[in-house]
Amino acid sequence: MKHLALLRENFRISVISIRTNALRTILTVLIIAIGITALVGILTAIDSLKSSISDTFKEMGANTFTIQSFGSNYQVLNKRIRKKSYSYISFKQAQELKERYTMPANVAVETWITGTATVTANGLKTNPNIGVGGGDEGYLVANGVELDKGRMFSAFDMEIGNNVAIIGNELVKKLFPGKKSVLDEYISVNGVRYRIIGTFKPKGNSFGGGVDRWVVIPVSNARVNFSRPNQSFYINITPEDPTMMNDAIGEAESLFRQIRRLTPSDESDFNIEQSDSIAQLMLDMMGNVTIAAFVISFITLLGAAVGLMNIMLVAVTERTREIGTRKAMGATFKTIKQQFLFESIMIGQLGGLLGIVLGILVGNALPIFTGGSFTVPWLWMLVAVAVCFLVSVASGYIPAVRAARLDPIEALRSE
């Protein structure tokens, strides 16, 4: 009971001291809070983005692989990734692979037309940022998308290359405001007229909008209306059994080498890309951001520790007479040291609490803006509390020991 009463008394004195020096306390709390905000905020944002990336690529068909004539050319953070480009894949070659492929799988032949199309309807038009692609009846499964209304391309559409299209939710709102259904309405894509037979379910604005700003037409129609020299097609294959992915890739590669008339000694003149490889690369690259977050937080918290130590040293100097009085009344070395450590820890935890709140808000701002979900970083909250405790103890120990070692007679004589 005696020890508990002593702890309560030290706690009470620490609270009084913090209130008395409110301005210095607030400044120190803010410095610590900035460091914790950087730590919790950046790491929360990274966790949210990692989850968003994984979910997005899963929706796009994480069990899908693509055979294409060109390598992926993309940039993640400051690293540019490019794979070797090969000669184009013709529609005939892509279609032959689809017809000869034997493993149970969804095989879709597709082509990319443009990402800067302008779509018009009813006297309204979009910005020139609409993606247009050609697909067949396997398009939905291969790309992990669903229809909101309407139907997919029929065999008849594919055979004769009908001018029909499936459009994204953002296009529906932009070109047909207030309409409940846009089926059988007409749009113009770069001057070519199409009848709408379906709309995609909205996906939100993650990664720039995705299918919400897409127009998909029959791949056979794309060959006619948007043909270009050496137009290349690609094949998306989604095995029914994901555990057979390696076997599925092996059969596709072997079969397509035959279609491309390659000899056993020839290198494959096409690329096979798994859809989750880009996601994994992006997740790996985010490790650099995590390290940067720790470095920034460490520097900020180091400054906070120095500031907190200075404040505690000043407090010892200002309260020398008080310390002498307490020692004269029987306060021990341990009691005085404990009092100043309590004060330091309380200031550190106040800064940590404020930093955690701000970090959660800052960390979730970007994912929510880009269509992600709100994340509560329990792990980083515990880390922040532990870091603040260590900073507080490290900063307060030297001033606490200095206060506890004061000679009571000299301290009482202090002005």
The band of 395, judged by pLDDT with boundaries at 50, 70 and 90, is confident
Whether 412 has a pLDDT exceeding 70, the answer reads: no
* 38 found inside a domain: yes
- Residue 25 has what pLDDT? 79
Express each pLDDT in 297-308 by its tens digit.
677 777 767 777
| Whether 404 and 327 share a structural domain | yes
* 171 found inside a domain: yes
Its pTM surpasses 0.75: no
- Residue 47 has what pLDDT? 73
Q: How many C-beta neighbours within 10 Å does residue 90 have?
A: 16
- Residue 11 has what pLDDT? 73
Express each pLDDT in 49-104 by its tens digit.
766 665 555 555 557 888 988 654 444 444 544 455 567 899 999 999 999 999 99
Residue 330, beta-bridge partner list:
none
d(CA 318, CA 311): 10
Task: Provide the percentage of residues in the chain whose pLDDT is more than 90.
Answer: 30
* 369 found inside a domain: yes
| Average pLDDT of the chain to the nearest whole number | 80
Whether 117 has a pLDDT exceeding 80, the answer reads: yes
The band of 387, judged by pLDDT with boundaries at 50, 70 and 90, is confident
d(CA 324, CA 9): 17
| Whether 14 and 99 share a structural domain | no
The band of 171, judged by pLDDT with boundaries at 50, 70 and 90, is very high
| Whether 156 and 186 share a structural domain | yes
Last residue of some domain: 235, 269, 303?
269
- Residue 193 has what pLDDT? 95
Expressed in percent and rounded to 5, the helix, strand and coil fractions of the chain are: 60, 15, 25
- Residue 101 has what pLDDT? 94
Domain count, the chain: 2
Domain assignment of residue 205, given as a range: 87-269
Q: For residues 287-319, b (16+ Cβ closer than 10 Å) or e, as one string?
A: eeeeeebeeebeebbeebbebbbebbbebbeeb
